[in-house]
Amino acid sequence: MTVKSKDLDSNENLLISLFSSLKAHFLLLSLSLLGLALRLHHLGGVSLWYDELLQLDIAQGSFSRILPQLPLHSALPLDYILLHFWVKLGHQDTWVRLPAALFGTLAIPLTYQLGRVMFNRHVGQLAALLLTVHPFAVDYSQEARPYSLLLLLVLISYLGAWQAYRTHRWRYWGLAGVGLLGGSLSHYFALFGWLPLGLYVSLNQIYHWRAKLYWAHTATFALMLFILSLALLVVGRPLILYSVGVGFTTALTEPTRLTLSPTEKPNRGNGPPLEIAYISDNFLSQLATPSPLGLFIYTGCFLLATLSLIPSQATHRPAMLLLLGWLFLPCTLIYLFLLQRGTFFAHRYILYTLPAFLMLVAQGAHLAQSYLRYKLPSKSFLTSYFLYLILPLCQLSPLLTYYHLPAYEDWRAVGQLLQAEAQPNDAIITIRSEQTMNWYYPPATKPFLMYSNPANIQAEIDKHARRWFVLSSYSYKTDSELRKWLEQQGAVKLAIDKRVTLYFQQKGLSQADMLAQAKQFHLPPIPQTYAELATQFCRIKEWASCQRFYKQAIQLATTPNQQANYRAQLATWMAKNK
């Protein structure tokens, strides 16, 4: 009877373990599918923006021309090469963004796995859930840029290195090597992400100085660094890397170099400001959430996890220190590097540190929930799952806001208008943004910065009687004289959005003649476009067209304030007509 009882207990434990495993796998699959759905939602809803088009213009060219063009954009080749083959299968906006969405989705199960082996299943699940719904992660999983790929590769490298030391199985170093090499060929800032790994390897070696096994680990990591150094020497402009590295290292040893005037910095800019408020708004709020309550909860969980390092018998100390290094070292070095170079800061640069932050938050939430369950052993739903629910809910409002944001600039609308109205012998002059029309209006294909030279612009004007000019925020500093000339010529202004304007001008025609052509244009359904044309008709006192286009602008307006503004403008013009 005793033997049978033990067998029954053993079978029962096996069934419980199997059920728990199936439940965990089902949850992970559900999170991955949810993450994919969030990243596919509205994927092609807005136009590709300037940086995406810059990358795609290179990717759609010949393979042999990819590497020579990258230095102009301070880029590395991996994502460009992947897109080069991908765009051969399609050019739709949704299609070219799909790889980033897939990379971002794959980061979810990897975050779970790393959180699970570093802490426990609950931390892994919560961290994966937070990454699934995080607007920061969703945003860059919807851009045809390398940041989602870099996030995935950094996760692979950290998971591989952690598992290599945890299990002493050498195949995990192969996994880490894929992440290290791939990340290093995706973006220069990946190099800052390898420093915490280097410290982790070094500390393991110091604590196990006499163990041959750890010497083998250190040698393997050193070999990987040597291989990726060779790869960077081949594709990463070694002389520039060396000079930039020396300049940055010197600035770190002489901090006064960080506060030089913009004219004395390499890129002649201020760089990110040295202000606590700026760091909070652009680092902490981005990694956590912009809402004050959500920021308070995320910060509290993060601090709780960090404070758990204080006791001498603290568990998970190596994992905590590695994650803190992964979070703080790259963020600090990227900030100081941009400050030293005099270059603006962009949130995307720190995306690959997001999993580290979320795992620390998840660990803090797990500690808090464990304490509540201990103090309130009633096992109520509130004490068991409160933080596990409130943390992802804090992202709901920012995520919905993200989905309703307008495009940075609507190059797609410009391309569609040109496809409908431009004639084969028209000049298409896109100032400092040639790659935008290379993608959306292929007949306009020109080398990048072709029209940054006034002589080239004038030569194109002289060759064609009918001309289209695409001006934007990327050209504003260089095209003031051109704007004056277009105004003098009575060119028709077609406002696309706050950042992009299309002008139509034809030699020998008056403004009234060109506006008469504009009446027949197939215009994009953008209220600003109709309102700007309405204003131009009003100025030449063509009141019927003025009313018609203002009414169409009012009909297309997206907000009550915009409608009211257009009605007021129309009323003002009509009063002048009387």
The reply to whether 70 and 109 lie within a common domain is yes
DSSP string, 413-479: HHHHHHHHH--TT-EEEETT-HHHHHHHSGGG---TTGGGSHHHHHHHHHH-SEEEEEEETTTTTT-
Check residue 24 and give its pLDDT: 79
Q: Does the reported pTM lie above 0.85?
A: yes
> What sign does the dihedral 48-110-350-231 (CA atoms) show?
negative
- Number of domains, the chain: 3
Mean model confidence pLDDT for the chain: 92
% residues pLDDT > 70 (the chain) = 95
The reply to whether 322 and 364 lie within a common domain is yes
Mean pLDDT for the stretch of residues 126-145: 97
Residue of 447, 265, 233 whose CA lies nearest to 344: 265
Q: Kindly list the distances between the CA atom of residue 301 and the CA atoms of 155, 160, 236, 292, in Å, as whole numbers in the listed order.
A: 22, 26, 40, 14
CA distance 244 to 337: 10
Check residue 379 and give its pLDDT: 60
3-state secondary structure of 205: helix
Lowest mean pLDDT among 192-196, 248-252, 372-376, 467-471: 372-376
The reply to whether 490 and 563 lie within a common domain is no
The reply to whether 171 and 233 lie within a common domain is yes
- Domain end position, chosen among 349, 381, 403: 403
CA distance 114 to 123: 9
CA distance 459 to 457: 5
The reply to whether 119 and 143 lie within a common domain is yes
Count Cβ atoms below 10 Å from residue 86 Cβ, excluding itself: 17
The reply to whether 542 and 497 lie within a common domain is no
The reply to whether 569 and 480 lie within a common domain is no
Residue of 39, 284, 42, 70 whose CA lies nearest to 148: 39
The reply to whether 414 and 382 lie within a common domain is no
Mean pLDDT for the stretch of residues 366-378: 78
Q: Kindly list the distances between the CA atom of residue 68 and the CA atoms of 226, 234, 437, 464, 477, in Å, as whole numbers in the listed order.
A: 24, 12, 21, 32, 27
The reply to whether 390 and 511 lie within a common domain is no
The reply to whether 498 and 418 lie within a common domain is yes
The reply to whether 220 and 354 lie within a common domain is yes
Residue of 195, 192, 145, 153 whose CA lies nearest to 176: 153
CA distance 187 to 78: 9
Give the structural domain span for 516: 409-522
pLDDT, tens digit (0-9, with 9 covering 90-100), for 59-82 = 999 999 999 999 888 899 999 999
| pLDDT above 60 for 8 | no
pLDDT band at 549 (very low <50, low <70, confident <90, very high): very high
Contact 338, 344 (CB under 8 A): yes
Mean pLDDT for the stretch of residues 123-150: 97
Q: Kindly list the distances between the CA atom of residue 550 and the CA atoms of 377, 518, 545, 557, 576, in Å, as whole numbers in the listed order.
A: 66, 15, 8, 10, 15
**Range picked from 14-28, 471-485, 537-551 for highest mean pLDDT:** 537-551
